[in-house]
A and B are shown apart, each in its own frame.
Chain A
């Protein structure tokens, strides 16, 4: 696993900077027992995310969405939006970039961690050129019976 496998998919500047070796900093990932609920103040991520057209277009392409508002800069510029509109789940990329490998909240990188679902709230669409900062805090941790049966979603 590494750049070789992903080389044909890596085109954006951020992708070129981001390490595809998932285990490289694994020793620094927070694990279940380390999530600290006694310290619930919001903390910044490891880095900020400047939204570029290539980021927005790539995400839409990866989910096979051909909406021209997400992929055609000229079309989007001449629309009432005045520019590209990111896919509604584009925040995923922002979060993985900003949390990085050493920042708090990197437990989302735990191999085998399951994603049971998501709640997302958007106040306005992201725009090209914006620099996004994230803040995070642990919210809940629960154990549910039959959580690890075959077929449960990651």
Chain B
């Protein structure tokens, strides 16, 4: 375990990116993990005709994309006992099988309140291998006393 001092944080600092290569197996496994068995993620025949999103392919769960982005935060915060308090995400484009999703995060805001309540805001983005923006997120992380 390591310690991150609030004083050492600089606005603009980049967190370690997260890179995830996804396949149809990723969607099936996330269905089992989340218990969301919606056929739009799982059933290759159903989506060919139903096309609920205007495309004839399955798409990844929105919560999977958010989870990828939030791993950037938890990988940084958890080892230092920092508390992830809030996250607000917007999903822009669905993830398709075969894509590589790269999630990045930067310290966007630093709020000095008092010991135990100081927090930072992290801006996150998820993009595919072509640089297409898939989702954005803001996460608040509180520093302990």
Q: Residues of A with Cβ closer than 8 Å to B?
A: 1, 5-6, 9-11, 14-15, 18, 20-23, 58-59, 61-65, 67, 69-70, 79-81, 85, 87-89, 92-93, 96-97, 109, 111-122, 124-125, 148-154
Contact A58 B54, CB 8 Å, known A63-B68, A117-B90:
no
A-B contact pairs, 29 of them (CB 8 A): A1-B42, A1-B46, A5-B42, A20-B37, A22-B38, A58-B32, A59-B33, A61-B29, A61-B33, A62-B34, A63-B30, A67-B71, A70-B74, A70-B78, A88-B67, A92-B63, A97-B35, A111-B50, A114-B53, A114-B62, A117-B88, A119-B87, A119-B88, A122-B86, A124-B83, A151-B94, A153-B59, A153-B65, A154-B62
Interface assignment of B39: CB less than 8 Å from any CB of chain A: yes
Contact A62 B33, CB 8 Å, known A9-B28, A87-B74, A118-B89:
yes
Q: Is A85 touching B33 in the complex (CB atoms < 8 A)?
A: no
Determine the distance from Cα of A151 to Cα of B65 in the docked complex, in whole angstroms.
15
Query: In the complex, which of the residues A11, A93, A153 contacts B34, with contact meaning CB atoms closer than 8 Å?
Result: A93
Q: Is A87 touching B83 in the complex (CB atoms < 8 A)?
A: no
Interface assignment of B114: CB less than 8 Å from any CB of chain A: no
Q: Residues of B with Cβ closer than 8 Å to A?
A: 1, 20, 26, 28-43, 46, 50, 52-55, 59, 61-68, 70-71, 73-75, 78-79, 81, 83-94, 135
Query: In the complex, which residue of chain A has the Cβ closest to the Cβ of B142?
Result: A122
Residues in chain B near residue A23, CB distance under 8 A: 39
Residues in chain B near residue A9, CB distance under 8 A: 28-29, 31-32
What is the distance, in angstroms, from A1's C-beta to the closest C-beta of chain B?
A: 5
Residues in chain B near residue A79, CB distance under 8 A: 1
A-B interface contact total, Cβ < 8 Å:
168
What is the distance, in angstroms, from B105's C-beta to the closest C-beta of chain A?
A: 13
What is the distance, in angstroms, from A5's C-beta to the closest C-beta of chain B?
A: 7
Query: In the complex, which residue of chain A has the Cβ closest to the Cβ of B144?
Result: A80
Main secondary structure of the interface of A (DSSP, over half): loop
Query: In the complex, which of the residues A22, A63, A149 contacts B67, with contact meaning CB atoms closer than 8 Å?
Result: A63
Residues in chain B near residue A152, CB distance under 8 A: 53
Residues in chain B near residue A111, CB distance under 8 A: 38-40, 50, 52
Residues in chain B near residue A69, CB distance under 8 A: 78-79
